């Protein structure tokens, strides 16, 4: 911290992490001591630092819900990370942003598809008992390929541990090098039936 106090040019207010959050920029005329637009100095905010030291190790939640039991407040707060993570998944993994369409109906359709994909991903994540992240589930399903060979015969490739767990979950096995389209349709019906349970 002393390094920033002695050399304010090293301090950037946009990066106020760690010890920097206790430094305050002051524009001061070093000749008269008046606060104005002559030179930037840094001041160590002792009161802010001491308040944080006194609360170090404690975690405080502020709420307007005075009648709600403490346990419920804490539980609701803990649930917020899931909502925040869902927005992150929507924006990054499901490519909800940026939106490359302009018409309102197409924008709504884009977000509906993203939301349904998020819902399906969350259902899979929960049914797999949160053993895998949504990102890993998506990668596994994306890497599993089905390639047409000839006369209604397909080749199934790149099935990993997550894919195997999904098969067990829905009571089907696609552990075939080559499979007929009729068998794939039959498995699809079984999966849909198992989802409805």
Every domain of the chain and the residues it spans? 2-55, 70-127, 143-196
Query: Considering only CA atoms, which of 105, 84, 88, 106 is closest in space to residue 96?
Result: 88
Decide if pLDDT at 17 tops 60: no
Residue 31 in this model has a pLDDT that exceeds 70: no
CA–centroid distance for 125 within its chain? 14
* pLDDT digits 0-9 by tens, 135-187: 898 888 888 888 888 888 888 877 789 988 988 888 777 777 788 888 888 87
Task: Give the mean model confidence (pLDDT) for residues 85-112.
Answer: 82
d(CA 56, CA 167) in angstroms, rounded, equals: 48
Taking 60 as the threshold, does the pLDDT of residue 58 lie above it?
yes
- Which pLDDT does position 22 carry in this prediction? 65
């Amino acid at each position: 911290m002393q390094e920033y106090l002695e050399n304010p040019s090293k301090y950037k207010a946009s990066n106020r992490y760690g010890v920097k959050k206790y430094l305050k920029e002051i524009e001061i005329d070093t000749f008269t001591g008046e606060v104005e637009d002559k030179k930037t100095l840094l001041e160590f905010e002792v009161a802010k630092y001491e308040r944080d030291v006194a609360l170090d190790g404690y975690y405080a939640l502020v709420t307007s819900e005075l009648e709600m039991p403490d346990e419920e407040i804490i539980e609701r707060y803990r649930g917020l990370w899931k909502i925040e993570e869902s927005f992150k998944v929507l924006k990054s993994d499901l490519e909800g942003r940026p939106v490359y369409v302009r018409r309102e109906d197409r924008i709504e359709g884009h977000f509906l598809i993203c939301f349904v994909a998020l819902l399906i991903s969350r259902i899979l994540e929960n049914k797999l008992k949160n053993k895998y992240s949504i990102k890993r589930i998506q990668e596994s399903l994306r890497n599993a390929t089905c390639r047409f060979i000839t006369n209604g015969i397909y080749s199934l490739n790149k099935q990993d541990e997550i894919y195997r767990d999904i098969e067990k979950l829905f009571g089907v096995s696609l552990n075939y090098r080559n499979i007929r389209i009729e068998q794939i349709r039959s498995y699809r019906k079984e999966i849909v039936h198992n989802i409805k349970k």
